[in-house]
């Protein structure tokens, strides 16, 4: 049985929660302005509907003879084909489902051959920065422009010893939204006989990613970034290193055969992708991710136009806020997705974020965004604010954010705030949680 995927429409895909009204400290309710898509994007309505359609058939995957198990297994395996199309993967590439981008890149880090030289830039998200440890890891300082990134990688690879080499690169910065020169980095990697892995977590929700066109060996992204917030992720790429390594996790599904040899167990591992998918898989999350891929893949023109218009409006408005300074990794104005991080002179980022939420019903992110090196270098150790756009963002959200931020900076907040466990919170916060939490 095939679970139907909704037909394409010319309209922009809608998200669950559009029009959600949240309480503010004045006692009113306002439409929630979700400017935190870079952390987690809301579910697409088509994803929600597809999950609802699947749930009556929800059952075990791969090892069940019952009809519902056969349906769930078909859904799970069809999802691999959807991800292949979404990423333009090669026929020989394997698709391994994981929990998220972090899980996927840790899996890859556990699977590279011994003594592999790994080269990456220090501006990476922690998911791409931290899995690689030891003397064979070469971290490069963030370049001032894309051309310098390519040149620095060329020099670094030329200095690495013979043997397997891997470049780890981001597609788009989760701090600034700036797009990295992935195809050019891949070309340099090829010249030195290296492979390249792409952290596509921030790029995949906003722009098409084609592994063959970019000439990338591996890509990882999360469902919760691409409007499928049901706990799934994916690692796609060349199978040989993954097939040659022991399973990332061991247990059911990862094993083809287990035998009792008295003082030890004899274990034959499954082939990829099952080799690295131990345990009962998240069929609901994987189906949600696959449907999100299909929907986004049919709406790139509308999605890009929507985000570019909102991003231009957001950046122009931010430039009118006294003391606001937008962060950039690169010199000049570079192509970017809908992510803007900034600081406001003399203002605490956490304080502003709390007031934007409590007084104006606006959700933004404050802190260092799991990219501490990049943020602290750009802010000289301060916390930053990040406003990130997506399919759930509107012109009204952007305009309200700019007006609210300007008012907070010029006139100050209308409510008192206190630090509680390191976070600013309204004094005597009167906002009631939704009934399902009581």
Catalytic site residues? 370
Omega before residue 407 within 30° of 0, cis: no
3-class DSSP state for residue 245?
coil
Which residues have a Cβ under 8 Å from the Cβ of 77 and sit 6 or more positions away?
none
CA dist 98 and 268 (Å) reads: 22
H-type alpha helices, 112-270: 126-129, 146-159, 182-191, 211-214, 239-244
Q: Using CB atoms within 10 Å of the CB of residue 198, give its burial: 0 to 12 exposed, 13 to 18 middle, 19+ buried.
A: buried
Alpha-carbon distance 46 to 66, whole Å?
27
DSSP annotation of 430:
-
Question: How far apart, in Å, are the Cα atoms of 368 and each of 30, 313, 343, 374?
Answer: 28, 24, 11, 8
H or E segment and range at residue 22: strand 21-23
Asked if residue 253 lies in contact with residue 274, where contact means CB atoms within 8 angstroms, the answer is yes
Please give the full DSSP string across 159-174, using - where no structure is assigned.
HSPSS-EEEEEESB-T
DSSP string, 43-112: PBHHHHHHHHHHGGG---SSS--SHHHHHHHHHHHHHHHHHHHHHT--TT-EEEEESSHHHHHHHHHHHS
Residues contacting residue 287 through CB under 8 Å, at least 6 positions apart? 3, 50, 51, 54, 75, 76, 79
- The tokens 């974020």 sit on which residue? 353
Instruction: Return left, alpha or beta for 41; rule: phi > 0 is left, psi -120 to 50 is alpha, else beta.
Output: beta
Q: Are 240 and 113 in contact (CB under 8 A)?
A: no
Q: Are 265 and 259 in contact (CB under 8 A)?
A: yes
């Amino acid at each position: 049985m095939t679970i139907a995927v909704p037909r394409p429409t010319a309209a922009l895909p809608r998200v669950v929660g559009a029009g959600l009204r949240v309480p503010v400290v004045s006692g009113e309710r306002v439409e929630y302005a979700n400017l935190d898509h870079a952390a987690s994007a809301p579910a697409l309505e088509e994803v929600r509907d597809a999950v609802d359609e699947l749930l009556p058939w929800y059952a075990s995957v791969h090892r069940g003879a019952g009809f519902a198990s056969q349906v769930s297994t078909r859904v799970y395996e069809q999802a691999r084909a959807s991800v292949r199309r979404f990423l333009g993967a090669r026929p020989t590439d394997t698709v391994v489902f994981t929990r998220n981008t972090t899980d996927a890149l840790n899996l890859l880090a556990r699977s590279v051959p011994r003594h592999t030289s790994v080269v990456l830039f220090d501006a990476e998200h922690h998911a791409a920065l931290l899995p690689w440890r030891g003397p064979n890891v070469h971290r490069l300082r963030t370049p001032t422009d894309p051309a310098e990134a390519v040149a620095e990688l060329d020099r670094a690879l030329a200095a690495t010893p013979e043997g397997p080499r891997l470049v780890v690169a981001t597609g788009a910065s989760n701090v600034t939204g700036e797009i990295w020169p992935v195809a050019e980095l891949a070309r340099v990697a090829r010249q030195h006989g290296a492979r390249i892995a792409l952290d596509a977590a921030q790029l995949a929700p906003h722009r098409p990613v084609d592994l063959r066109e970019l000439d990338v060996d591996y890509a990882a992204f999360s469902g919760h970034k691409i409007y499928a917030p049901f706990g799934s992720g994916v690692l796609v790429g060349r199978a040989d290193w993954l097939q040659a390594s022991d399973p990332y996790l061991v247990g059911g599904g990862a094993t083809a055969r287990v035998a009792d040899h008295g003082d030890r167990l004899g274990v034959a591992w499954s082939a990829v992708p099952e080799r690295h998918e131990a345990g009962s898989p998240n069929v609901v999350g994987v189906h949600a991710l696959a449907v999100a891929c299909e929907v986004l893949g049919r709406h790139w023109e509308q999605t890009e136009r929507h985000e570019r218009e909102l991003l231009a409006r957001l950046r122009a408005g931010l430039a009118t806020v006294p003391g606001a300074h937008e962060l950039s990794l690169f010199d000049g104005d570079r192509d970017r997705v809908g992510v803007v991080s900034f600081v406001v002179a003399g203002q605490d980022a956490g304080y502003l974020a709390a007031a934007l939420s409590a007084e104006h019903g606006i959700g933004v992110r404050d802190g260092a965004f799991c990219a501490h090196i990049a943020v602290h270098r750009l802010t000289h150790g301060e916390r930053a604010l990040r406003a990130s756009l997506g399919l759930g963002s509107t012109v009204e959200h952007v305009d309200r954010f700019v007006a609210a931020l300007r008012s907070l900076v010029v006139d100050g907040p209308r409510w008192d705030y206190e630090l509680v466990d390191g976070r600013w919170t309204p004094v005597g916060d009167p906002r009631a949680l939704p009934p399902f939490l009581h």
